[in-house]
């Protein structure tokens, strides 16, 4: 059974940091492109960061320089370190796994940036 379980969300003040984690099981994690997406209220889901099977990374312009995506293929986890958080980063953050046409999604974790 495929599972992607996100954790680490919460409420943080502007300028603060959070670390999101996604624990994967039920598929060949090391072969998959892993990504974090987010969806704010009333907005479409958008790509935040992606990490390839070999560790190459790419980021949305809005988060570049503030967020860092990483993966541990031995533990089947992908993380998103978020620094210098802004109110506009408030959203539900989703973990995604993709290999060719196969995609899996987690249930999401809420991140709220507010004073």
Q: What is the pLDDT of residues 25-80, one digit of tens each?
A: 999 999 999 999 999 999 999 999 999 999 999 999 999 999 999 999 999 999 99
All residues at 6 or more sequence positions from 108 whose CB lies less than 8 Å from its CB, including other chains: 6, 39, 92, 93, 94
Q: What is the pLDDT of residue 13?
A: 98
Q: By the 8 A CB rule, do 108 and 93 touch?
A: yes
């Amino acid at each position: 059974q495929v599972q992607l379980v996100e954790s680490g969300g919460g409420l943080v003040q502007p300028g603060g940091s959070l670390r999101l984690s996604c624990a994967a099981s039920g598929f060949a994690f090391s072969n998959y492109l892993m990504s974090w997406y987010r969806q704010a209220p009333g907005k479409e889901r958008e790509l935040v960061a992606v990490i390839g099977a070999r560790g190459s990374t790419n980021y949305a312009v809005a988060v570049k320089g503030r967020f860092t995506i990483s993966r541990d293929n031995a533990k089947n986890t992908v993380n998103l370190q978020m620094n210098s958080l802004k109110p506009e980063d408030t959203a539900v953050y989703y973990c995604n796994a993709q290999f060719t046409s196969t995609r899996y999604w987690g249930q999401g974790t809420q991140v709220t940036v507010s004073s």
